[in-house]
């Protein structure tokens, strides 16, 4: 339990297209815009990334960071270069049809913020440990449910 308390949680915003491309390319490298480099450098191996699908407002997965941040200009995604990269491992994911709508997670502290949806526009965004655990637990339960 102590390890969980020390976990640093981040949210990464994906579109359905960028999420699918991430998986097609092996689900082991994620990327962010170059304007986010200073923030990306704060992400460390062992940190957890909650994957949020914009457009449908759903959580679909949890990633664990496996590397220090690095820059890479090789093309992975069609939409943008996303050169600020991290090696990651998918810890838990659900199918798109079983992703969890954020509104089902009414205990999230983000809902106490006015214009909370703006908090999910730029990524990564650091999240409170209790919110990270709420999302991760919901994904774990959803993954264990029979479809």
More confident residue, 26 or 1: 26
pLDDT at 147: 58
The 10s digit of each residue's pLDDT in 85-139 is 999 999 999 999 999 999 999 999 888 777 767 667 789 999 999 999 999 999 9
Domains of the chain, by residue range, sit at: 2-136
The values of phi and psi at residue 16, to 5°, are -60, -40
Average pLDDT for the chain: 91
The 10s digit of each residue's pLDDT in 22-80 is 999 999 999 999 999 999 999 999 999 999 999 999 999 999 999 999 999 999 998 89
Candidates 3.30.60.50, 3.40.1350.10, 3.40.630.10, 3.10.590.10; CATH matching 2-136: 3.10.590.10
pTM here?
A: 0.92
């Amino acid at each position: 339990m102590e390890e969980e308390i020390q976990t640093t949680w981040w949210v990464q915003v994906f579109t359905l297209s960028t999420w699918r491309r991430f998986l097609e390319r092996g689900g082991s490298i994620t990327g962010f815009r170059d304007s986010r480099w200073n923030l990306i450098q704060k992400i460390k191996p062992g940190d957890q990334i909650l994957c949020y699908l914009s457009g449908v407002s759903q959580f679909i997965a949890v990633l664990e960071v496996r590397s220090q941040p690095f820059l890479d200009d090789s093309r992975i995604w069609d939409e943008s270069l996303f050169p600020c990269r991290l090696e990651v491992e998918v810890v838990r994911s659900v199918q798109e049809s079983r992703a969890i709508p954020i509104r089902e997670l009414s205990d999230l502290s983000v809902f106490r913020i006015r214009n909370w949806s703006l908090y999910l526009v730029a990524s990564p965004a650091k999240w409170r440990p209790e919110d990270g655990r709420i999302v991760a637990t919901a994904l774990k339960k959803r993954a264990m449910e029979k479809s």
